[in-house]
Chain A
Amino acid sequence: MNYSSELIKGTLKTIVLKLLADNKKMYGYEITQRVKELTLDKIQITEGALYPTLHALEADGFVTTEVEFIGKRVRKYYSLSPTGKAKTKEKVKELANFMDTMTSLLDIKPKLA
């Protein structure tokens, strides 16, 4: 079962931040592959969603970048900045809290008498 794009889009920032927190530094393609691997292909992040998100995270100052030249092309590695580390904790906590809320909201409870 693959999750809908709306669900993934709402959590993409958190996913990327958490991956960077766990893996120190990563580049775009690596992030997409790691997500596929960790979720057994249930979540497939597209380039059209990932790179704008990385761009926005960098503009926000949550990630820092370093580049590696591979022949004529450049590989951009992303890692968390100090504010990004704090933001990751906040986003993960927020998402966990949201999941708890959704669990209780959507859980079908037996009616009492």
Chain B
Amino acid sequence: MYTINDEQVDYILDDIRRHGIGIEDLQQNLLDHICILVEENLEENGDFEKFYASVIPSFYRQEMREIEEEALFLLRFKAPYLVLSRNQFFGLLFAVFIGPFIWYALNSLATNSMMTIGYECIPVETWLATLVLALHPLLILVVLFFTPEQMEPLIPRGARVLLGIRPFVRILPATGALAETGPFAETL
């Protein structure tokens, strides 16, 4: 029986990540599965890399990332989760932060339009509140929106945002690779 060493464990994990598996749970499960396959099927003095290269293609049809996409696809239909694309998520945050202020400003404009047209009709306090409470979060959101996914502190790649006791909002990767219908019906 072959005994896998730490270096080979790292090699496999790196390879799994390189093949597009970003969900840690899947990474660990696949790593353990591959390690068992190697240990049970490779002879004591066998060629690890050769064996590994021959085993890996059996895990997917075209690319390993299918496994993660299938997992995300299954999660898409899970109540009570609200599954949003990255753009939808930021769109929602923009609306929540900015919406009330835009509404107030438009309302003020409408009610004062008979007398004056323009921003003079909006009280200074409103502009200050907008600046502090809306524009500052907006600036943060804009920065986050343009931050590369891999470096994003708020939404790690392929992960979810925790709101409340358990996650109820899941953010899909920006690649948008998921189709509405089951794209990997033939994965088995």
Interface residues of A (CB under 8 A from B): 5-6, 8-9, 12, 27-29, 45-49, 51-56, 58-60, 67, 70-76
Q: Is the interface of B mostly helix, strand, loop or mixed?
A: helix
Give the contacting residue for B6; candidates A27, A53, A71, A76; CB below 8 A.
Answer: A71
User: Do residues A55 and B187 form an inter-chain contact, with CB atoms below 8 A?
Assistant: no
User: Do residues B9 and A27 form an inter-chain contact, with CB atoms below 8 A?
Assistant: no
Interfacial chain B residues near A53, Cβ < 8 Å: 74
**Contact-size category for B:** 35 or more
User: Do residues B75 and A59 form an inter-chain contact, with CB atoms below 8 A?
Assistant: yes
User: Do residues A29 and B32 form an inter-chain contact, with CB atoms below 8 A?
Assistant: yes
A22–B32 Cα distance when bound, in Å, is 23
Q: Is the interface of A mostly helix, strand, loop or mixed?
A: helix
Interfacial chain A residues near B70, Cβ < 8 Å: 48-49, 52
Min C-beta distance of A8 to chain B, whole Å: 5
- B59's nearest neighbour on chain A, judged by CB, is A47
A54–B187 Cα distance when bound, in Å, is 15
Min C-beta distance of A62 to chain B, whole Å: 11
